Amino acid sequence: MSGSNGFEPKIVAFVCNWCTYLGADLAGTSRLEYPPNVRILRLPCTGRIDTNLVVKAVEGGADAVLVSGCHPGDCHYNAGNYHARRRWMLFRELLDVLGFDMRRIHFTWISAAEGRKFQHVISEITEQTRALGPWRAYEAKAEIDHRGGLVGQAVSPATGRAGPAPALQAPAPLAEQELRDLARRLLGAGDVKVVIGYGAAGPVFVTKAADVERLVWNEGCQANLTTYLKRKEVRALGKPAVVVKGCDERSLVVLEKESQIRREDVRVIGMACDGMGQEKCAACDTHEPRFADERVGKAGGQGGKPAARYAAVEAILAKTPEERLAFWSAEFDRCLKCYACRQVCPMCYCERCIADKNRPQAIDTSPHRKGNFAWHIARAMHLAGRCVGCDECTRACPAGIDLRLLNLTLARAAETQFGYRAGMDPAAEPPIGAYSLQDKEEFIR
Amino acid sequence: MDNIYQPDLMEIAGVRQHTPDVKSVKLRFQDPNRAGSFDFRVGQFGIFSAFGAGEATFNICSSSNWKGSIEFCFRKVGRVTEALWDAEEGDTVGFRGPYGNGYPMEAWRGKDLIFLGGGIAMPPIRCAIWYALENRADYGDITIVYGARTVGDLVFVDELDEWARHPRVRVIRCVDPGGQTPDWTGEIGFVPTVFERADVPAKNAIALVIGPPIMIKNTIPVLERMGGAMSNVYTSLENRMKCGVGKCGRCNAGPVYVCKEGPVFTFEELRAIPMDY
Amino acid sequence: MSARISREDLRKLVAEWLAAGKKVFGPVRVKAGLELYAPLDSAEALLLDGWIRPANSIKELVFPRHEALYGYRILKNRVELVDLAAEIPEQIAIGAHPCDAAALAALDKVFNWDYRDEFYNRRRAATTVITMACAAHDDQCFCTSVGLGPEAERGSDALLHERDGGYEVRAISEKGRILLGGLAGETACPTAQTSGANTPPRRFDSAQVAAFAKEHFEDPYWAERALACLGCGACTFTCPACHCFDMVDEGNGREGVRARNWDACQFPMFTLHASGHNPRANQGARQRQRIYHKFVMYPDKFGEVLCTGCGNCSRNCPVGLGVLPAATEIGNG
């Protein structure tokens, strides 16, 4: 039975080798009829099904996607499906904010004995998708609210760049002097070989005590300098001291947890901060550094409004999925694939990024809409439960794409679902790489 | 519209596997008119493509005297070369070219020729060797020193034997220490060392040196000690390229587009200009 | 004869072009603090004041960030090539800056030496550039250091000068004359009115930049200068004159396209050989390349600096680099 317009949905099913694939096989050998609209792709385990594959299927013209594996407790590899479940929980929230049609993305547990369930699921999805019609996720009209954008950003007069005007809490000359004195002491004593700090026109790398006057501390110190700890040219300078704000410091916690730095190899200079006038500052609850070896200054005690942390996510979720997709289409249409977002990110340290790999080509390198959606989804997912919200990607983007909203979406998901905030508590277990038997799965059939 | 990026469609007319990861492929133009009009100079390169995988740059390693077909040689290292590896006789691949300057074979007339090659660098030397042998009277003594890490890494081995049978051609094969097999009859040692031992008169000879950066680096002083003039020592640069026609900027090295002003340079030229290659 | 057009009439003109089906690009405010050259959907979207220059450039009109070069279809062991070069509609850049227009004149050369790139040429032929002389500058502007200025004509088909609440209009090329017809005058605008507020000071000497780059190719300066560089492409992609590109295949086993995408000399992968050897192995060499290409290599080959002083590289750099800081250091001997 086909739709009135002759539309036959294409459904791509990513299934695990041990349960659902055998379930599908059983449906076949039991002569249980199910619609031929499904293309089954067999993978070793749901834990091994990269979310990029789901995106790839949509790019390739799938009208619905199904991901299916073993029931909880039945995984051939013990816990692959538990790990997958966590990723799906985060992935779904991301797709939802992007405005993808969530009625077309399905997750099920189907065992090797459930040929009948496989038959039902496929029949149901096929009928439902047929009623929905073709999925034209990438054909949305790119629409942006010219009256200030969905999530407005003001330009900083200091830098001419996106980000609201600095709050201009009087630059702290005392703190600046204290910082220079400290740097002079550290370099003079040979405790560190380089101080990575803020200069008048951008980051500076001070290697001589005589040069500490190049260090500044003012309302323009927006960058998260911990990103330099990963760069080999900077590493070659020797043991660093790095100037951080309370927010930047969170990335050190993650980097250490991920074995990218050894805490004892880095001297951390923590600056008390009343905000740099960026959007994130409004909800800041890390005005004072918490783990730094050296502390400079004292924050004015004006707390941000942490409760409003995810207000931007909630604002976009108040829109319809169609509006959200139109918004993101306009945002991503501006993407140049300059990778400033990746390069500036302290958490992006892979020796070779998945975007630079071509065997297989998981993400089209072209800056067209599909390639841009794929890239930003992959980037957000790779930062899920890791992003500390420094917003450097947003600050760096020459196209003004609201990347912070993607990261915030996943941060919100990690906090609401798993009570986790990246970089806040060194003892907390990161959500990705762990799982709980109690993880919510109401979205899995 | 004249599309400078559009390749000629070529049929694979033959495939030779040289090592576990090196093959050479012979191509014929599918368009008979193009086959008739096509010409190139040895030392020029082409941009070869496997449709669906992309393009890659290789020297045209056949002699320009061989009409009707061209050959190229590659190691399987990436997306494009894997796709080319899987292509079989009769399949279609793309070719753009010939590009670049090529060897000044006319200017080399009357001179002794010294070819020094390492590993996968044999193909861009091979085309010049065949050209010289086919115009044997134009050139003096020919010395070929060809080395590889192991015996199994040598390519075009059968042709080495064939070249050695020509008059006034000396072929010296070598492998890195430890790379020999029990029945290895060639030399053991690195190309520069083996070449120096061979005591070839280099003073008025033309030398073509192609190989990994470390081999080139160590060979140049040897040539200098033996009296070779840097204006007579040539190499072919292997900068990464995309367009081949001086637009995309990728092969840009210092003041030159390697794809247009190169890939063949003398060391005199390379020393005179600041370059990254 | 010089001619004038009021702001209202300028918008009306844009509306007429749009109604006639022409593609019109101009500066728009995408969101607060972000101005970009973009296709105008209405004459009202055209931004006439309150900004220095958009964060991108008009090079996209002639050299899009992504362009299919041809398609292919694979049928067993045969391949069929598909011409994808669609008709290019007439396009107009209105409100471009002199530093955008001048870059097109530079790009014309590289896309046409020896091999002629018709993808570029046909877009260029379809494009008319109506430049707006600059009314202001910021501390990143340095056109006067590379032989241009806020009223430079190079690459423009017509030039608008803001005067007394309207614009003086002058046609520079035949294309401009045809597009504007009787609206445009021919005489040079009286430069006496140039207040100077729109003219950035000379910040460096480009010949000295070239000399330094040539003579100090291996200098540790480059590595030190590049320490903060993150290796992204924000500078090159927003540069009106940078034109490096990559070529890629995209498709499935049956059909696809071969396309070109912008590429950047700042990416480590840009020059990486399959063997693992990288001729520009560190960020210092990559930063040097950008300066060397613009100030030495391009002028040697094509007779002009490949930099129009727009300052976009510095404005868009997340860490305060770009041409200006380096050129100021090495070009003030």
Please write the tens of the pLDDT for every residue from A180-190.
Answer: 999 999 999 99
Is B254's CB within 8 Å of C247's CB?
Answer: no
| Higher-confidence position of A158 and B16 | B16
Inter-chain residue contact C77 with B90, CB threshold 8 Å: yes
Q: Which element (helix H / strand E) includes C210?
A: helix C206-215
Q: What is the pLDDT of residue A166?
A: 43
C42 interfacial to chain A (CB closer than 8 Å): no
| Per-residue pLDDT at A306 | 77
Query: Which one is the CATH code of A11-139: 2.40.50, 3.30.70, 1.20.120, 3.40.50?
Result: 3.40.50
Q: What pLDDT is attached to residue A149?
A: 39
Identify from A352, A357, A358 which residue to disrupt to test chain B contact, counting B C-beta atoms within 10 A and taking the largest count. A358
Residues of chain A with Cβ-Cβ distance to B78 below 8 Å are 358-359
Q: Return the half-sphere exposure (C-beta side, CA atoms, 13 A cut-off) of residue B167.
A: 5
Residue of B nearest to A361 (CA): B79
DSSP string spanning C142-185?
-GGGGT--TT--TT-SEEEEEETTEEEEEE-SHHHHHHHGGG-B
For the residues B133-159, what does the mean pLDDT come to?
Answer: 96
Amino acid A144: pLDDT: 59
pLDDT for residue A155 is more than 50: no
Select from A197, A38, A191, A182 the least CA-distant residue to A108: A38
Look up residue C134 and give its amino acid.
C
Question: What percent of chain A is predicted at pLDDT more than 90?
Answer: 87
Distance from CA of C232 to the nearest CA of B (A): 16
Across the interface, do B277 and C279 touch by the CB < 8 Å criterion?
yes
Q: What is the pLDDT of residues C260-294, one digit of tens each?
A: 999 999 999 999 998 888 999 999 999 999 999 99
What pLDDT score was predicted for residue A302? 63
Average pLDDT over residues C74-81: 95
Measure the CA–CA gap between B223 and B231, rounded to whole angstroms.
12
Q: Where in chain A is the domain with CATH 3.40.50?
A: 11-139
- pLDDT at position C190, please? 54
Interface test with A, best of C36, C227, C255 (most A CBs within 10 A): C227
Q: What is chain C's alpha carbon radius of gyration, rounded to the nearest angstrom?
A: 21
Asked whether the predicted pLDDT for residue A94 surpasses 90, the reply is yes
Domains of chain B, earliest start first: 8-99 (2.40.30.10), 113-236 (3.40.50.80)
Q: What is the pLDDT of residue C189?
A: 55
The structure tokens 């005392």 sit at: A174
The DSSP bridge partners found for residue B145 are B116, B172
Task: Say which residues have a Cβ less than 8 Å from residue B122's Cβ, sequence separation at least 6.
Answer: B73, B146, B154, B155, B156
Q: Is the pLDDT of residue A143 over 90?
A: no
Tell me the β-bridge partners of A97.
none
In 3D space, the residue among C262, C267, C280, C282 whose CA is nearest the CA of residue C107 turns out to be C262
Percent of residues, chain B, with pLDDT higher than 90: 92
Q: Where are the domains of chain C?
A: 3-330
pLDDT the model gives residue C196: 75
Say which DSSP state B246 is in.
Answer: S
Cβ <8 Å between C56 and A368: no
Find the mean pLDDT for residues A211-219: 95
What is the distance in angstroms between the CA of the first residue and the CA of the last residue of chain A? 25
Using the beta-carbon criterion (under 8 Å), do B260 and C114 form an inter-chain contact? yes
Residue whose entry in the numeric block shows the structure tokens 């001070």? A206
Answer whether residue B122 shows pLDDT above 70: yes
User: Using CA atoms, how far apart are residues B223 and B116, in angstroms rounded to an integer?
Assistant: 11
Q: How far is CA A421 from CA A259, A310, A346, A431, B206, in A?
A: 18, 12, 16, 9, 68
C98-126 pLDDT, tens per residue? 999 999 999 999 999 989 999 999 999 99
CA distance C86 to C23: 15
Residues A299-323: what's their mean pLDDT?
Answer: 86
Distance of CA C331 to the CA centre of its chain: 23
Element (H, E) at A177: helix A173-188
Mean pLDDT of C299-326: 96
Q: Do residues B62 and B38 touch, judged by C-beta distance below 8 A? A: no
Q: How far is B107 from chain C (nearest CA, A)?
A: 24
- Look up residue A211 and give its amino acid: D
Q: Given pLDDT bands bounded at 50, 70 and 90, which one contains residue A161? A: very low
- Substitution target from C28, C30, C31 for chain A, most A beta carbons within 10 A: C31
Note whether ipTM > 0.85 here: yes
Strands (E) in A261-323, as ranges, are: 267-271, 294-296
User: In the prediction, which pLDDT does B162 show?
Assistant: 95
Phi, psi of A352 (to 5 degrees): -135, 120
- The encoded tokens of residue A150 equal 């969905």
C272 contacts B240? CB cut-off 8 A: yes
What's the pLDDT tens digit per position in C18-52?
A: 999 999 999 999 888 899 999 999 999 999 988 88
Tokens of B175: 């492998």
Contact C65 A367 (CB under 8 A): yes
Q: What is the mean pLDDT of residues B47-57?
A: 96
Burial of C137 (0-12, 13-18, 19+ CB in 10 A): buried
Residue in B5, B252, B255 nearest the CB of C300: B255
With beta carbons less than 8 A apart as the criterion, state whether A432 and A420 touch: no
Beta bridge partners of A243: A269
Q: From the CB of residue C129, how many other CB atoms can be counted at a distance below 10 Å? A: 28
pLDDT at A172 over 80: no
Q: How would residue A303 be classed by pLDDT, with cut points 50, 70 and 90?
A: low
Q: Which pLDDT tens digit goes with each residue over A317-333?
A: 999 999 999 999 999 99
CA of C39 to nearest chain B CA: how many angstroms apart?
26
DSSP structural state of residue A378: H
Smallest Cβ distance to C72: which of B51, B247, B276? B51
Q: Which residues of A61-75 are buried (b: 16+ CB within 10 A; e: fewer)?
A: ebbbbbbbbbebeeb
- How far is the CA of A410 from the CAs of A432, B125, B189, C199, in angstroms? 12, 56, 58, 47
Q: Residue B9 has what DSSP assignment?
A: E
Subunits next to A (3 or more Cβ pairs <8 Å) are B, C
Cβ distance of C265 and B249 shorter than 8 Å: yes
Which chains have 3+ CB pairs within 8 A of B? Answer: A, C
Contacts of C42 (CB under 8 A, 6+ apart): C15, C18
Q: CA B147 to CA B145: how far, in whole Å?
A: 7
CA-based nearest residue in chain B for residue A358:
B79
Percent of chain A with pLDDT strictly greater than 70? 91
Please report which helix (H) or strand (E) contains residue A374, including its range.
helix A369-382
Q: Distance (Å) from the C-alpha of residue A69 to the closest C-alpha of chain C?
A: 27
Give SS3 for A197: strand
Euclidean distance between CA atoms A214 and C224, whole angstroms = 15
* Helix-strand-coil split of chain B, %, nearest 5: 30, 30, 40
Q: Do A358 and B78 touch (CB under 8 A)?
A: yes
Q: What is the pLDDT of residue A15?
A: 97
pLDDT at A292 over 50: yes
Give residue A113's identity as a one-letter amino acid code: A
Instruction: Report whether pLDDT(A301) > 70.
Output: no
Can you give the pLDDT at residue C187? Answer: 65
Tell me how far CA of residue B99 lies from CA of B35, B238, B275, B276, C274, in angstroms: 17, 13, 20, 21, 20
Instruction: Please state the rounded mean pLDDT for residues A227-246.
Output: 96
Q: Which residues in chain A touch residue B55, judged by CB atoms under 8 angstroms apart? A: none
- Burial class for C183, CB neighbours closer than 10 Å (0-12, 13-18, 19+): middle
Closest CA to A310 of A406, A439, A417, A379: A406
Q: Do B213 and C277 touch (CB under 8 A)?
A: yes
